[in-house]
Amino acid sequence: KFVSGNIVRKKRAPLFRLIQHTKPYRVKIWLASTFSILNRLFDLAPPVLIGAAVDIVVRRENSIFGSIGIESLRVQLYTLGIITLMIWISESVFEYLYKIYWRNLAQSLQHQLRMGAYNHIQDLELEYFEERHTGGLMAILNDDVNQLERFLDIGANDIIQVITTVVVISISFFILSPQVGAFAMVPIPIILIFSIKFQKKLEPRYAAMREKVGILSGRLSNNLSGIASIKSYTNEEYESGRVADSSLEYQDANKHAIALSSAFSPLIRIVVVVGFILMLIIGGIQTLEGSIEVAAYSVIIFMIQRLLWPLTRLGETLDQYQRAMASTTRILDLLDTPINIVSGKKRVSTDKIKGKIVLDDIHFGYKRRPSIMNSFSAIIYAGQTIAFVGATGAGKTTLIKLLLRFYDTQHGKVLIDGIDIKELNLQDLRAGIGLVSQDTFLIDGTIRENIAYGKPETLMHHIIEAAKIAEVHEFVNSLPDGYNTLVGERGQKLSGGQRQRVSIARAVLKDPPILIFDEATSSVDNETEAAIQRSLERITEGRTTIIIAHRLSTIRHVDQIYVIENGRIIEKGVHEELIALAGGQYSTLWKVQTGEIS
């Protein structure tokens, strides 16, 4: 399970931070690593087999096989053939096993990291999202997680096998000839020191690259969601230029990293070839002098080739590692983001909520913005239908966000049935509130799925009943696929009024004790408004209802109207009382909307 960490943990190297999240996979990691090592050991056997074959034809009865009692040269060759077959089979088996384990491990860890990050995002407060681009978060959940998966799929095995190769071949050289072994070790520390310094220089370049790809993803996501506005303002060329700028910045960041990463392998190859030449000459001289057998010299030559190839690939492997660690840092930084709005411990079932709401001396302001709510107080009694009206920015929608605990008050309390909502379990609190927002969110599914969004297992006749109350049933029945009609992304295949009525049907089906309508009729025609108004009259009975409205005609019959200005209540009463206040804000707004004044 992924939990948010602390500031100290962020300072640790990304690899060590990642290891903390691999505890459930420790056994699989050890098995995968073991299979990688065994595969490499068997892969390094062919040079030894070639040396053994040379030993048989050169030394004949005195070969290594002869020393263990196999005198016949044919039997020696047959034995060597059988051993060769067993080694190749073993190498193939362990190759299959390490690929299976590493790839499945990569998929499992990828899934858990992505779900851990996504679930953590869902627990973060609304303020977090208002300060970040959706595309940037998508880049982390998709591109960065995939980058880590690619490294685990290939790079982790490569690193293990390079280490195994260096260790085994170095030991082999010391056994065959200590002098040759000493020269074989000369390039190793040089390569290691160079790799560490190279890694430190490469790390910030890949971090910058991942940041640029996040910005690019954010721009693309924003433009695709706003494609209708781009087309209507004929701004395709302008937006294409902005995307091109972001893409070029990402390209430049990539070039900056590529310029350094591409230099690694050629430089390593030069260091390796120096060691190769030294071993070639020194080993050859010792063979001519009789210090080393011809077969042993053959093994050394072939082993050098086995060492050369993986070391020259080290640059590519290190490049994969740095890309993965840059992505890992972004993923784990997201997971380490603290959750500021923490769920309370008090549980309450929906059927136990009566719906009395007390707003007690509320003070609130968004970060880096002036205060919106100032000593705001109001009481909404259970079963009452009230409305908040006022100019844009007066604080109406902010009240709804505070009630749902999308934000927490900076001072004062919000109480439901006498309980501070900070003490309530967040799931229970929000389960007891049905929200119909001006910005209706519909999933990319069917009308049925959207109405049943809060209760996916609801039977069809309950869905139809809710649709009838919301006055959307007749429209749905007129469609060829009825309730199985796909609404498209964010419901784009439906009109604004149709989306609103589906949203109302969803709230009806949820059947919460508290209902909130946030500008539910602000963008619909008169006919749809009338239909929604009829729906409101039916579904508000017996439950606490809060309506935020610009159209005063929709709130004429509510129990209480609050007029808000600059985060304070300046007028309250029923419709008739408020329009009777000469010079009052509500009265003035009513006259403007009814055409009495312009």
Burial (Cβ within 10 Å: 0-12, 13-18, ≥19) of residue 494: buried
First to last CA, the chain: 61
pTM value is 0.76
Determine the pLDDT at residue 36.
Answer: 93
407-444 residue pLDDT tens? 899 889 999 999 999 999 998 998 899 888 877 788 88
Q: Report the pLDDT averaged over residues 531-542.
A: 73
- Assess contact for 200 and 222: CB atoms under 8 A: no
Residue 486 DSSP class: B
268-292 residue pLDDT tens? 777 777 777 777 777 788 778 777 7
pLDDT surpasses 80 at 218: no
In 3D, which of 426, 454, 459 has the Cα closest to residue 511?
Answer: 454
pLDDT surpasses 80 at 339: yes
Determine the pLDDT at residue 315.
Answer: 67
How far is residue 347's CA from residue 352's CA, in Å, rounded to a whole number?
10
Burial (Cβ within 10 Å: 0-12, 13-18, ≥19) of residue 139: buried
Q: Report the pLDDT averaged over residues 560-583.
A: 88
- Assess contact for 410 and 422: CB atoms under 8 A: no
Residue 388 DSSP class: E
SS3 assignment, position 342: coil
Determine the pLDDT at residue 442.
Answer: 84
Q: Which long-range contacts (CB under 8 A, 24 or more apart) does 590-594 make?
A: 590/552, 593/551, 593/552, 593/553
Determine the pLDDT at residue 139.
Answer: 80
Determine the pLDDT at residue 308.
Answer: 65
- Assess contact for 300 and 173: CB atoms under 8 A: yes
Q: Which two tokens stand for residue 383?
A: 């079963």
Q: Which two tokens stand for residue 508?
A: 């009806």
238-269 residue pLDDT tens? 888 888 888 888 888 888 777 777 777 777 77
How far is residue 118's CA from residue 139's CA, in Å, rounded to a whole number?
12
150-192 residue pLDDT tens? 888 888 888 888 888 888 877 877 776 777 666 666 777 777 7
Radius of gyration of the chain (CA): 36
- Assess contact for 257 and 202: CB atoms under 8 A: yes
How far is residue 507's CA from residue 90's CA, in Å, rounded to a whole number?
63
Cβ neighbours of residue 527 under 8 Å, at least 6 residues apart?
Answer: none
194-204 residue pLDDT tens? 777 776 777 78
In 3D, which of 360, 348, 355, 484 has the Cα closest to residue 424?
Answer: 348
pLDDT surpasses 60 at 3: no
Q: Which two tokens stand for residue 339?
A: 């959750």
Measure the CA angle with vertex 13, ends 141 and 106; round to 5°.
45
Q: Report the pLDDT averaged over residues 7-15.
A: 58
